[in-house]
Amino acid sequence: MLFFIFLCNVISAQSIRQLLHRGKKSFETENFEAAVFFYSRAIQMSETPPVAWKLAEAARMNRNYTIAEKWYHYVAERENKTYPLSNFWLGTVQKSMGSYQKAQLSFRKYFNANIKTKDYYTQKARHEVTSCENALFLTFDPVETPFIRLDSTYNTPFSEFQIVDFGDTLKYITALKPETIEDSLNYFSKLKSYSFKDSLLNVNLLDTNINIPNKNISSYTFINGNKKVIFAACDRKPGKFKCQLYQSEYNSNQWSQPLLLSNIINVDGASTTNPCFAKTSIGNYLLFASDRDGGIGKLDLWYSKIDSVGSYGEPVNFGKNINSIDDECTPFYDDKTQTMYFASEWFDNLGGTDIFSVQGNLEQMKYPQNLGFPINTSSYDVFYNISCDRSNAYFSSNRTLDRINSTASCCNDLFQIELPKPKKDSVPEIKLETKLIQKTKELIPISLYFHNDEPNPRTWDTTTTLNYATTADNYLALRNDYQSMWSQNLIDEAKDKALVEIESFFIDSVEKNFAKLVKFTQLMEQLLDAGQNIEITIKGYASPLNSNAYNINLSKRRTQSLVNFFNEYKNGVFIPYINGTSSRANALIIKKEAFGEEMVIKGVSDNLNDVRNSVYSPSAACERKIAVIAVSFSK
């Protein structure tokens, strides 16, 4: 505070050039708070797009989103061509503020203006068009999971990240806070133990074998109790942390000299962090986050199988079902429910990083679920884990709600979720089922789209072995072909308009409805598990490029691909309900209706010599679909 009072006294003597120079130096040294101060004064003297851009960038990095939104909008309205990312970052900060409709418009504007570009920003903006809409719906349907922010026993005005709870008497926490007055300007994240004895709290900084001097201890995992630990020790680099994993054991009241894990785990030139020891029915694994080569995006999640003597197998990327072109981090595996929790900037995300869950075999995981609002917010929500006695879950967040004397959005606090205990009263379960049924019905109809004559082209077969998820992936991979064919021989605005039409179809129809299908399937799983009988009706359609008899068979293949999706979901979790062997004696009944071209809207081309209109036009693409048109429940 004294620093800024001093600045105010001398600011009048400074020129705009001096202010911009000081702002630039502050930004380069990642002192974004000071950069915002200098650029805010500069823009009062010169309200121009170049100064506004600098202020918006500094404010975004300092998480002053209101300031950033104002000046990104100013730049986007005046100098969008000079600063082409202005709408992208405007959408980003609007999403971080929870303004999802505004953010969706900004991302769509950026994407439409850069539709010919295939870089990170265009892919991200494309994804955010649907992600922002889904985020808005998540806020309309808050989860009924109460949680609290831990009190000042554990939270401080600084940052607390990961907590591991061994019960009422022992907890471990990593925190970024000064330990002494001397290090108040240059301090590191450290690991501490919180133990209670005779109702007295003892807080101990673990010895220097764990808290390596001048290193940030960001995350950790215990193995078989709390006598062996794997932890990440990190150096701060410009714009990121460079981390490596170490292992130490507790003997004779001290931690052993840490051993750097092998170069199978720690790769030169890459960051390896967020370790999680996972004990599963098929063996033990080390999960971690890393930006090593061979990944999909920035930080990806990886797993390494641990053999009987404790050696690590070659790490495997979790793949595109879990990882994205953005960051995924902080994995935690609950062996009792075979559920992995992790944080991601992708998927149906409310902003920052959200916490997701995904069930199943670690080597075959698909379709993460957002834990929902308000557990997730537009802030950075990370480090979900469950206490050893399964009474509580925890997570860390920099949300601004009801903070402890700390600057808005600057710091992380720890939050606690009290996990539900078995109840004799069935009323809450009945209430939950009613809500799930309503949510399932609201998703209907679900339209699912196909490329021409898919699956299994040029056949009269009425069935297929392909799963709809596979055909959808293959269809989305043809986006560039559709863009090229639909925009051929067009120039300038007409060409751009054609490209936008194709992308709008893939975003608003193909991808959005596949996301609805996944949500629908997840809700069905919960309701079947609760004993509900479910009947769904699927209708098939086809474009008019072949005979009506052929198209009826094609529609049957398409409906079968969806049945295959249900059969293969989570390694066959629905099969007992479909074939009548469920232990609960309830059933999933799938009714199939197939139609040919008599259901097609008039005017859709059936000219085989004009594939631009009969195959690649948005109007023709809209007719090649199946639809889940009805769902009913009984118990």
- Do 484 and 522 have their domain in common? yes
CATH number at residue 207: 2.120.10.30
- Do 612 and 528 have their domain in common? yes
pLDDT above 70 for 3: no
pLDDT score, position 603: 53
Average confidence (pLDDT) over 424-449: 84
Look at residues 140, 161, 189 and tell me which one is the last residue of a structural domain: 140
- Do 359 and 398 have their domain in common? yes
By mean pLDDT, which of 193-197, 288-292, 525-529 is the weakest?
A: 193-197
Cβ count near 241 (within 10 Å): 15
Give me the long-range contacts of 450-453 (CB less than 8 A, separation at least 24).
450/475, 450/558, 450/624, 450/625, 450/626, 451/475, 451/478, 451/624, 452/543, 452/545, 452/615, 452/620, 452/624, 453/545, 453/546, 453/554
Give me the long-range contacts of 210-215 (CB less than 8 A, separation at least 24).
210/248, 210/255, 210/258, 212/246, 212/258, 214/188, 215/188
H helices of 344-426, in order, are none
pLDDT score, position 427: 58
Cβ count near 522 (within 10 Å): 17
CA distances in angstroms from 117 to 79, 84, 345, 397, 579, listed in the order given: 19, 12, 22, 34, 48
Radius of gyration in angstroms for the set of CA atoms belonging to the chain, rounded to a whole number: 27
Residue of higher predicted confidence among 262 and 364: 262
By mean pLDDT, which of 127-131, 250-254, 337-341, 601-605 is the weakest?
A: 601-605
- Do 310 and 179 have their domain in common? yes
- Do 387 and 448 have their domain in common? no
Q: What is the pLDDT of residues 444-458, one digit of tens each?
A: 999 999 999 999 999
Look at residues 375, 390, 418 and tell me which one is the last residue of a structural domain: 418
Parent domain of 370 = 147-418
pTM of the model: 0.90
Quote the tokens at residue 591.
């009714």
CATH number at residue 493: 3.30.1330.60
pLDDT above 80 for 183: no
- Do 394 and 522 have their domain in common? no
- Do 118 and 249 have their domain in common? no
pLDDT score, position 421: 76
Q: What are phi and psi of 444, to 5 degrees?
A: -80, 140
Residue burial 530-559, b: 16+ Cβ < 10 Å; e: rest: bebbbebbbbbbbbbbbeeebbbbbbbbbb
- Which of 329, 323, 351 has its CA nearest to residue 341? 329
CATH number at residue 62: 1.25.40.10
- Do 226 and 375 have their domain in common? yes
Residue of higher predicted confidence among 3 and 122: 122
- Do 105 and 221 have their domain in common? no
By mean pLDDT, which of 12-26, 277-291, 476-490 is the weakest?
A: 12-26
Banded pLDDT at 586 (limits 50, 70, 90): very high
Look at residues 418, 440, 473 and tell me which one is the last residue of a structural domain: 418
Average confidence (pLDDT) over 142-151: 92
pLDDT above 90 as % of the chain: 76
CB 358 within 8 A of CB 346: no
pLDDT above 70 for 395: yes
Spatial CB neighbours of 34, under 8 Å, sequence gap ≥ 6: 22, 23, 26
- Do 162 and 297 have their domain in common? yes
- Do 333 and 377 have their domain in common? yes
Average confidence (pLDDT) over 363-384: 94
Omega within 30 of 0 (cis) for the link into 213: no
Cβ count near 76 (within 10 Å): 24
pLDDT score, position 409: 61
Average confidence (pLDDT) over 532-557: 84
- Do 368 and 261 have their domain in common? yes
Cα(590)–Cα(631) distance, rounded to whole angstroms?
9
Number of structural domains (the chain) is: 3
pLDDT above 80 for 57: yes
Cα(105)–Cα(109) distance, rounded to whole angstroms?
6
pLDDT above 70 for 105: yes
By mean pLDDT, which of 133-147, 412-426, 446-460, 466-480 is the weakest?
A: 412-426
Residue of higher predicted confidence among 227 and 545: 227
